[in-house]
Amino acid sequence: MNNYNTEDLEFEKYHGLGNDYILINNLKYKIPEEKMNELAKLLCTPHFSIGADGLIYVCKSQKADIRMRIFNNDGSEAEMCGNGIRCFSKYIYEHDIIKKGEISIETLKGINIAQLNITNNTVSTVKIDMGKPILDCEQIPVELDDYPSQCINEQIVVLDKIFNFSAVSMGNPHAVIFTKNLISDIDLNKYGANIESDEHFPRKTNVEFVKIISKKEANVRVFERGVGITNSCGTGSCAAVVVGTILGLFEKNTPILIHNDGGDLIIHYNGKEVFMEGPAIKVFTGYIDKIEF
C-alpha cells in the first residue's frame, strides 16, 4: 500500500460533554478510504499526537444533506455516536457546508435529523432524532443460550460478579446495567473491558452502568467499545433511558435528565423513537504541516 502525504491539513477539535473528537473536512482533503482508520489511530493517540476519543470525517452523501463517518481511536469505524453527531452538526453549520437549522445526516446506522439551536450564527445545543432503538437480539447483536427475541434483565457472569444486563442498539450495541450501589464504587475499567469483549457480544459492545436518582433522572458511566472509559456517551445515555423505561424505572414519555461524568444530556423516549439534546463545544483549530502514513 502506498504512503499518503498530507500537507497543511486543517483540523478542528470539538467535545460533547468531554467526549472529544477531531473533525476533518473530507470534502476538501479527500483522505483515501484505505487510510481513514490509519489516520484516526495516528491522530487520536494521546501525548504523541492530537489525542481524542475519535476522528470524524465530513463526507458527501447521496441520501442526505451530508454524511458523517466516525472512527474510534483504535481505528475501528463506529456506526453512530451521539456526542459526535452533535459536534459534527455544529461544524458543518458554522463552516457554511450546510446552512440550515435542520440537517439530515447519513451515518452507518442510517439517516439522523439534527435540529440546531442557533444564536448569532453560533450553534449552542443540538437535538438529534436518534430513531428507533433496536431490541431484537439478532440485530443488536447479542447471543444468549435460550435464544430469546429480546435481552432484558438477563444475567452475565463477569470475573467475580454476576450482573443483570439488558441489550439494546442505538445503531451501535449497548449492554445496560442498573446498580443500587454508587457507580463510582464500580471498577469500570476492569468490568467494562471484560463485558465489552464478552462472548455474548459477537461485535463487542458499549457498557453502561446506571444509578437511578428518580423517575426523571439518573447517573450514567460508560465504557465505550473501541475506546475505553469516556466522559460521556450520547448513544449510551439513550440506551439507558430506553431500557429504564421498559423496566419501569423511568416515567414514560417524559424527558429524562442523564448525568454523565462530563455533563448532562436530556433524553426523551416516546416508546417508539429516541431524542437526545445536549451541547457541542469547539475547542481549537489546528494545522498539520506534513504527515506521511
Mean of pLDDT values over 197-222: 97
Q: What is the mean pLDDT of the chain?
A: 95
Q: What does the pLDDT read at residue 184?
A: 79
pTM confidence score: 0.92
108 vs 7, residue with greater confidence: 108
Q: What does the pLDDT read at residue 54?
A: 97
Provide the 10 A C-beta neighbour count for residue 157.
9
Please pick, among 87, 137, 233, 238, the residue that the annotation labels catalytic: 233
Provide the 10 A C-beta neighbour count for residue 106.
19
C-alpha span between 145 and 99 (Å, rounded): 50
Write the CA distances from 211 to 98, 241, 246, integer angstroms.
39, 11, 16
The 8-class DSSP code of residue 133 comes to P
Please pick, among 44, 81, 87, 137, the residue that the annotation labels catalytic: 81
C-alpha span between 286 and 22 (Å, rounded): 10
Q: What does the pLDDT read at residue 2?
A: 64
Nearest C-alpha neighbor of 164 from the set 243, 218, 239, 237: 243
The 8-class DSSP code of residue 134 comes to B
Show the cell assigned to 102.
435542520
**Is residue 265 very low, low, confident or very high in pLDDT (cuts 50, 70, 90)?**
very high
Q: What does the pLDDT read at residue 289?
A: 83
pLDDT per residue as tens digits for the range 176-194: 999 998 787 789 999 999 9
The 8-class DSSP code of residue 132 comes to P
Amino acid at 148: P
* Maximum distance among all Cα pairs of the chain, rounded to whole angstroms: 56
pLDDT per residue as tens digits for the range 33-43: 999 999 999 99
Clarify whether 233 is annotated catalytic. yes
Q: Evaluate if residue 10 carries a pLDDT over 50.
A: yes
Q: What does the pLDDT read at residue 15?
A: 97
Q: What does the pLDDT read at residue 145?
A: 86
Contact 79, 110 (CB under 8 A): no
Provide the 10 A C-beta neighbour count for residue 206.
27
Q: Evaluate if residue 140 carries a pLDDT over 90.
A: yes
Show the cell assigned to 267.
433524553
Mean of pLDDT values over 265-286: 97
Give the whole-number percent of the chain exceeding pLDDT 90: 91
Rounded to 5°, the CA angle 269-272-277 comes to 35
Show the cell assigned to 105.
445526516
Q: Evaluate if residue 1 carries a pLDDT over 50.
A: no
Q: What does the pLDDT read at residue 170?
A: 96
Q: What does the pLDDT read at residue 290?
A: 79
Q: Evaluate if residue 6 carries a pLDDT over 80.
A: no
Q: Evaluate if residue 161 carries a pLDDT over 60.
A: yes
